[in-house]
A and B are shown apart, each in its own frame.
Chain A
Amino acid sequence: MDDLDRQIISATQAGLPLTPQPYQAVAKELGISTELLVQRIKLMQQQKVIRRIGVVPNHYRLGYSFNGMTVWNIVDEKIDELGKQVGELDFVSHCYHRPRHKPEWNYNLFAMVHSKTEQGVKQQIQIITEILGQYNLGQDVLYSTRILKKTGLRIGEKRV
Protein backbone atom coordinates (compact mmCIF):
# COMPACT_ATOMS: atom_id res chain seq x y z
CA MET A 1 0.00 0.00 0.00
CA ASP A 2 1.43 3.39 -0.95
CA ASP A 3 0.58 7.02 -0.31
CA LEU A 4 -1.89 7.16 -3.16
CA ASP A 5 -3.77 4.16 -1.74
CA ARG A 6 -3.95 5.93 1.62
CA GLN A 7 -5.26 9.07 -0.03
CA ILE A 8 -7.88 7.05 -1.90
CA ILE A 9 -8.98 5.34 1.31
CA SER A 10 -9.21 8.64 3.10
CA ALA A 11 -11.18 10.30 0.31
CA THR A 12 -13.63 7.41 -0.19
CA GLN A 13 -14.10 6.90 3.57
CA ALA A 14 -15.18 10.50 3.90
CA GLY A 15 -18.01 9.71 1.50
CA LEU A 16 -18.72 9.69 -2.20
CA PRO A 17 -20.30 12.90 -3.49
CA LEU A 18 -23.93 12.71 -4.60
CA THR A 19 -23.20 13.83 -8.13
CA PRO A 20 -23.75 11.84 -11.34
CA GLN A 21 -20.04 10.94 -11.64
CA PRO A 22 -18.75 10.55 -8.06
CA TYR A 23 -15.59 8.59 -8.87
CA GLN A 24 -14.59 11.17 -11.43
CA ALA A 25 -15.06 13.85 -8.76
CA VAL A 26 -12.89 11.95 -6.25
CA ALA A 27 -10.20 11.37 -8.91
CA LYS A 28 -10.18 15.04 -9.78
CA GLU A 29 -9.82 15.97 -6.11
CA LEU A 30 -6.82 13.64 -5.85
CA GLY A 31 -5.35 14.84 -9.14
CA ILE A 32 -5.40 11.42 -10.82
CA SER A 33 -7.34 9.85 -13.68
CA THR A 34 -10.63 8.09 -13.03
CA GLU A 35 -9.15 4.92 -14.58
CA LEU A 36 -6.28 4.87 -12.09
CA LEU A 37 -8.66 5.48 -9.18
CA VAL A 38 -10.96 2.62 -10.20
CA GLN A 39 -7.99 0.32 -10.83
CA ARG A 40 -6.57 1.01 -7.36
CA ILE A 41 -9.95 0.55 -5.68
CA LYS A 42 -10.46 -2.80 -7.43
CA LEU A 43 -7.02 -3.95 -6.35
CA MET A 44 -7.65 -2.94 -2.73
CA GLN A 45 -11.00 -4.76 -2.84
CA GLN A 46 -9.24 -7.92 -4.05
CA GLN A 47 -6.67 -7.55 -1.26
CA LYS A 48 -9.54 -7.12 1.23
CA VAL A 49 -8.18 -3.74 2.30
CA ILE A 50 -11.46 -2.16 1.20
CA ARG A 51 -14.26 -4.37 2.45
CA ARG A 52 -17.04 -2.61 0.67
CA ILE A 53 -18.09 0.65 -0.89
CA GLY A 54 -21.67 1.21 0.00
CA VAL A 55 -24.35 2.77 2.10
CA VAL A 56 -23.37 3.00 5.76
CA PRO A 57 -26.68 3.14 7.65
CA ASN A 58 -26.95 4.96 10.95
CA HIS A 59 -28.44 2.13 13.02
CA TYR A 60 -29.15 4.30 16.01
CA ARG A 61 -31.14 6.79 13.95
CA LEU A 62 -33.03 3.93 12.28
CA GLY A 63 -34.42 2.85 15.62
CA TYR A 64 -31.81 0.34 16.70
CA SER A 65 -31.24 2.17 19.94
CA PHE A 66 -30.29 -0.91 21.96
CA ASN A 67 -26.75 -1.84 21.13
CA GLY A 68 -25.29 -4.37 23.47
CA MET A 69 -21.65 -5.28 23.69
CA THR A 70 -21.95 -8.95 24.57
CA VAL A 71 -18.81 -10.51 26.06
CA TRP A 72 -18.11 -14.21 26.53
CA ASN A 73 -15.51 -16.42 28.18
CA ILE A 74 -14.88 -19.11 25.59
CA VAL A 75 -12.62 -22.14 25.88
CA ASP A 76 -9.46 -21.14 23.94
CA GLU A 77 -9.41 -24.21 21.69
CA LYS A 78 -12.91 -23.46 20.47
CA ILE A 79 -12.87 -19.70 20.05
CA ASP A 80 -12.07 -19.51 16.32
CA GLU A 81 -14.69 -22.05 15.36
CA LEU A 82 -17.40 -20.53 17.55
CA GLY A 83 -16.39 -16.92 16.82
CA LYS A 84 -17.02 -17.51 13.11
CA GLN A 85 -20.46 -18.93 13.83
CA VAL A 86 -21.39 -15.93 15.97
CA GLY A 87 -19.97 -13.53 13.34
CA GLU A 88 -22.33 -15.03 10.76
CA LEU A 89 -25.47 -14.04 12.69
CA ASP A 90 -27.28 -11.23 10.90
CA PHE A 91 -27.81 -9.17 14.06
CA VAL A 92 -24.09 -9.22 14.96
CA SER A 93 -22.20 -6.29 13.44
CA HIS A 94 -18.75 -6.97 14.90
CA CYS A 95 -17.30 -10.13 16.39
CA TYR A 96 -13.77 -10.14 17.80
CA HIS A 97 -11.36 -12.24 19.79
CA ARG A 98 -9.61 -10.06 22.40
CA PRO A 99 -7.28 -10.97 25.29
CA ARG A 100 -8.52 -11.70 28.79
CA HIS A 101 -7.05 -9.77 31.73
CA LYS A 102 -7.51 -12.05 34.69
CA PRO A 103 -8.73 -11.62 37.32
CA GLU A 104 -10.54 -8.36 36.42
CA TRP A 105 -11.60 -9.34 32.92
CA ASN A 106 -12.30 -12.94 31.97
CA TYR A 107 -13.98 -12.47 28.60
CA ASN A 108 -12.23 -13.21 25.28
CA LEU A 109 -15.06 -13.00 22.72
CA PHE A 110 -16.83 -9.73 21.91
CA ALA A 111 -19.97 -9.55 19.76
CA MET A 112 -21.89 -6.32 19.13
CA VAL A 113 -25.63 -6.88 18.78
CA HIS A 114 -28.30 -4.40 17.71
CA SER A 115 -32.00 -4.33 18.34
CA LYS A 116 -34.90 -1.92 18.62
CA THR A 117 -35.83 -3.19 22.09
CA GLU A 118 -34.09 -4.53 25.18
CA GLN A 119 -36.21 -7.66 24.85
CA GLY A 120 -34.80 -8.08 21.35
CA VAL A 121 -31.24 -7.96 22.68
CA LYS A 122 -32.15 -10.61 25.26
CA GLN A 123 -33.45 -12.91 22.53
CA GLN A 124 -30.27 -12.35 20.52
CA ILE A 125 -28.16 -13.24 23.56
CA GLN A 126 -30.20 -16.42 23.96
CA ILE A 127 -29.43 -17.43 20.37
CA ILE A 128 -25.69 -16.83 20.89
CA THR A 129 -25.80 -18.76 24.19
CA GLU A 130 -27.24 -21.76 22.37
CA ILE A 131 -24.51 -21.66 19.71
CA LEU A 132 -21.72 -21.47 22.30
CA GLY A 133 -23.17 -24.23 24.45
CA GLN A 134 -20.83 -25.94 26.90
CA TYR A 135 -17.77 -23.98 25.70
CA ASN A 136 -19.17 -20.78 27.18
CA LEU A 137 -17.77 -20.36 30.70
CA GLY A 138 -19.37 -17.02 31.47
CA GLN A 139 -20.97 -14.00 29.86
CA ASP A 140 -22.09 -10.41 30.32
CA VAL A 141 -23.68 -7.63 28.31
CA LEU A 142 -22.62 -3.99 28.50
CA TYR A 143 -25.07 -1.43 27.22
CA SER A 144 -23.84 1.97 26.24
CA THR A 145 -25.43 4.51 28.52
CA ARG A 146 -23.90 7.58 26.91
CA ILE A 147 -21.94 8.45 23.79
CA LEU A 148 -19.07 10.64 24.97
CA LYS A 149 -17.26 10.97 21.65
CA LYS A 150 -18.52 9.73 18.33
CA THR A 151 -15.56 9.98 16.01
CA GLY A 152 -11.98 11.00 16.13
CA LEU A 153 -9.44 10.29 13.49
CA ARG A 154 -10.49 7.69 11.00
CA ILE A 155 -7.82 5.15 10.28
CA GLY A 156 -5.94 6.39 7.28
CA GLU A 157 -6.35 10.06 7.93
CA LYS A 158 -3.06 10.42 9.73
CA ARG A 159 0.05 11.57 7.93
CA VAL A 160 -1.39 10.95 4.54
Chain B
Amino acid sequence: MFSSLDKQLLNDFQQDIPLSATPYQDIAESLGVTEDAILTAFKELQDQKFITRIGSVIAPNLIGVSALIAMSVPKNQLQHIATVINQYPEVNHNYERDNRFNLWFVLVANDSESLQAVMKDMEYQTGCKMLYLPLLEDYFINLGFEIDFND
Protein backbone atom coordinates (compact mmCIF):
# COMPACT_ATOMS: atom_id res chain seq x y z
CA MET B 1 0.00 0.00 0.00
CA PHE B 2 2.84 2.39 0.86
CA SER B 3 5.96 2.61 -1.26
CA SER B 4 9.29 2.55 0.54
CA LEU B 5 9.57 6.26 -0.25
CA ASP B 6 6.19 6.91 1.42
CA LYS B 7 7.34 5.05 4.52
CA GLN B 8 10.54 7.03 4.73
CA LEU B 9 8.67 10.30 4.29
CA LEU B 10 6.15 9.36 6.98
CA ASN B 11 8.68 8.20 9.56
CA ASP B 12 11.96 9.99 8.99
CA PHE B 13 10.85 13.59 8.53
CA GLN B 14 8.63 14.20 11.56
CA GLN B 15 11.36 16.17 13.32
CA ASP B 16 13.16 18.20 10.74
CA ILE B 17 12.22 19.49 7.37
CA PRO B 18 15.48 21.27 6.48
CA LEU B 19 15.46 25.04 7.01
CA SER B 20 17.07 25.64 3.64
CA ALA B 21 16.00 27.43 0.49
CA THR B 22 15.05 24.12 -1.13
CA PRO B 23 14.17 21.63 1.62
CA TYR B 24 12.39 19.13 -0.64
CA GLN B 25 15.42 19.06 -2.95
CA ASP B 26 17.60 18.37 0.12
CA ILE B 27 15.34 15.48 1.15
CA ALA B 28 15.43 14.19 -2.42
CA GLU B 29 19.22 14.19 -2.45
CA SER B 30 19.43 12.45 0.91
CA LEU B 31 17.13 9.69 -0.37
CA GLY B 32 18.59 9.50 -3.87
CA VAL B 33 15.40 10.47 -5.73
CA THR B 34 14.22 13.55 -7.62
CA GLU B 35 12.64 16.57 -6.01
CA ASP B 36 9.62 15.92 -8.17
CA ALA B 37 9.22 12.44 -6.68
CA ILE B 38 9.27 13.94 -3.16
CA LEU B 39 6.72 16.63 -3.97
CA THR B 40 4.42 14.14 -5.72
CA ALA B 41 4.63 11.63 -2.86
CA PHE B 42 3.98 14.29 -0.20
CA LYS B 43 1.05 15.66 -2.18
CA GLU B 44 -0.46 12.21 -2.53
CA LEU B 45 0.02 11.45 1.21
CA GLN B 46 -1.63 14.77 2.04
CA ASP B 47 -4.50 14.30 -0.41
CA GLN B 48 -5.15 10.83 1.04
CA LYS B 49 -5.00 12.39 4.52
CA PHE B 50 -2.18 10.13 5.73
CA ILE B 51 -0.38 13.36 6.57
CA THR B 52 -2.31 16.05 8.42
CA ARG B 53 0.17 18.69 7.32
CA ILE B 54 3.84 19.46 6.98
CA GLY B 55 4.40 22.31 9.37
CA SER B 56 5.50 23.60 12.72
CA VAL B 57 4.49 22.10 16.04
CA ILE B 58 4.39 24.59 18.89
CA ALA B 59 4.91 24.11 22.62
CA PRO B 60 1.62 24.50 24.56
CA ASN B 61 0.58 27.59 26.52
CA LEU B 62 3.14 29.95 25.00
CA ILE B 63 0.56 31.99 23.18
CA GLY B 64 -2.62 32.34 25.16
CA VAL B 65 -3.71 29.71 27.66
CA SER B 66 -5.39 26.36 27.30
CA ALA B 67 -6.87 23.70 29.52
CA LEU B 68 -8.40 20.29 29.17
CA ILE B 69 -12.02 20.20 30.31
CA ALA B 70 -14.00 17.11 31.21
CA MET B 71 -17.76 17.31 31.40
CA SER B 72 -20.28 14.89 32.82
CA VAL B 73 -23.29 14.90 30.50
CA PRO B 74 -26.46 12.78 30.72
CA LYS B 75 -26.30 10.28 27.86
CA ASN B 76 -29.60 11.36 26.30
CA GLN B 77 -28.47 15.01 26.16
CA LEU B 78 -24.99 14.35 24.83
CA GLN B 79 -25.60 15.26 21.21
CA HIS B 80 -27.39 18.46 22.11
CA ILE B 81 -24.80 19.58 24.65
CA ALA B 82 -21.91 18.69 22.32
CA THR B 83 -23.48 20.96 19.71
CA VAL B 84 -23.76 23.79 22.24
CA ILE B 85 -20.12 23.31 23.34
CA ASN B 86 -18.79 23.07 19.78
CA GLN B 87 -20.25 26.46 18.94
CA TYR B 88 -17.67 28.16 21.17
CA PRO B 89 -14.69 29.14 19.01
CA GLU B 90 -12.43 28.46 22.02
CA VAL B 91 -13.18 24.71 21.80
CA ASN B 92 -10.63 22.36 20.21
CA HIS B 93 -10.82 18.59 19.80
CA ASN B 94 -14.06 17.58 21.43
CA TYR B 95 -14.24 13.83 22.07
CA GLU B 96 -16.86 11.58 23.54
CA ARG B 97 -15.21 9.11 25.92
CA ASP B 98 -16.55 6.11 27.80
CA ASN B 99 -16.56 7.44 31.34
CA ARG B 100 -18.84 9.21 33.79
CA PHE B 101 -17.02 12.28 32.46
CA ASN B 102 -17.96 11.63 28.87
CA LEU B 103 -17.19 14.88 27.04
CA TRP B 104 -13.52 15.92 26.77
CA PHE B 105 -12.33 19.05 25.03
CA VAL B 106 -9.54 21.60 25.07
CA LEU B 107 -10.29 25.28 25.66
CA VAL B 108 -7.94 27.88 24.21
CA ALA B 109 -8.15 31.56 25.15
CA ASN B 110 -5.98 34.66 25.20
CA ASP B 111 -5.68 34.75 28.97
CA SER B 112 -6.94 32.90 32.00
CA GLU B 113 -9.71 35.45 32.72
CA SER B 114 -11.30 34.82 29.31
CA LEU B 115 -10.89 31.09 29.80
CA GLN B 116 -12.65 31.20 33.18
CA ALA B 117 -15.40 33.33 31.66
CA VAL B 118 -16.00 30.77 28.88
CA MET B 119 -16.14 27.96 31.44
CA LYS B 120 -18.65 29.86 33.58
CA ASP B 121 -20.79 30.51 30.55
CA MET B 122 -20.66 26.84 29.54
CA GLU B 123 -21.66 25.75 33.01
CA TYR B 124 -24.58 28.18 32.92
CA GLN B 125 -25.66 27.10 29.41
CA THR B 126 -25.46 23.36 30.06
CA GLY B 127 -25.87 22.91 33.81
CA CYS B 128 -23.28 20.14 33.63
CA LYS B 129 -20.47 19.39 36.05
CA MET B 130 -17.06 20.33 34.64
CA LEU B 131 -13.52 19.42 35.63
CA TYR B 132 -10.85 22.04 35.00
CA LEU B 133 -7.67 20.15 34.10
CA PRO B 134 -4.93 22.58 33.10
CA LEU B 135 -1.47 21.36 32.30
CA LEU B 136 0.78 21.47 35.38
CA GLU B 137 3.75 19.78 33.76
CA ASP B 138 4.45 18.51 30.26
CA TYR B 139 6.66 15.42 30.16
CA PHE B 140 7.39 15.94 26.53
CA ILE B 141 10.25 14.03 25.01
CA ASN B 142 11.01 14.90 21.42
CA LEU B 143 11.19 11.51 19.75
CA GLY B 144 8.39 11.56 17.22
CA PHE B 145 6.13 8.61 16.67
CA GLU B 146 7.40 5.56 14.81
CA ILE B 147 4.74 4.20 12.47
CA ASP B 148 4.76 0.42 12.21
CA PHE B 149 4.01 -0.69 8.65
CA ASN B 150 4.19 -4.45 9.35
CA ASP B 151 0.69 -5.76 9.80
Contacts and interface: CB of A to CB of B under 8 A. Distances in A.
Q: Is B one of A's binding partners?
A: yes
Interface of A: 1, 6, 9, 12-16, 18-24, 34, 38, 41-42, 48-59, 61-64, 69, 79-80, 83-84, 86-88, 90-91, 93-99, 101, 104-105, 110, 114, 116, 140, 142-156, 158-159
A149 B94 contact: yes
Nearest to B100: A104
Given A12-B55, A95-B139, A97-B135, A18 B42 contact: yes
Given A62-B50, A148-B86, A57 B14 contact: yes
A90 B148 CA distance: 11
Nearest to B14: A54
A148 B82 contact: yes
Contacts, number: 245
A149 B86 contact: yes
Interface residues of B, number: 81
A55 B52 CA distance: 8
B9 A55 contact: yes
B139 A97 contact: yes
Given A57-B50, A153-B92, A21 B22 contact: yes
A90 B145 contact: yes
A142 to B, nearest CB: 4
B122 interface: no
Contact of A148 (B55, B64, B95, B140): B95
B37 interface: no
B90 A96 contact: no
Nearest to A39: B19
A7 B149 CA distance: 36
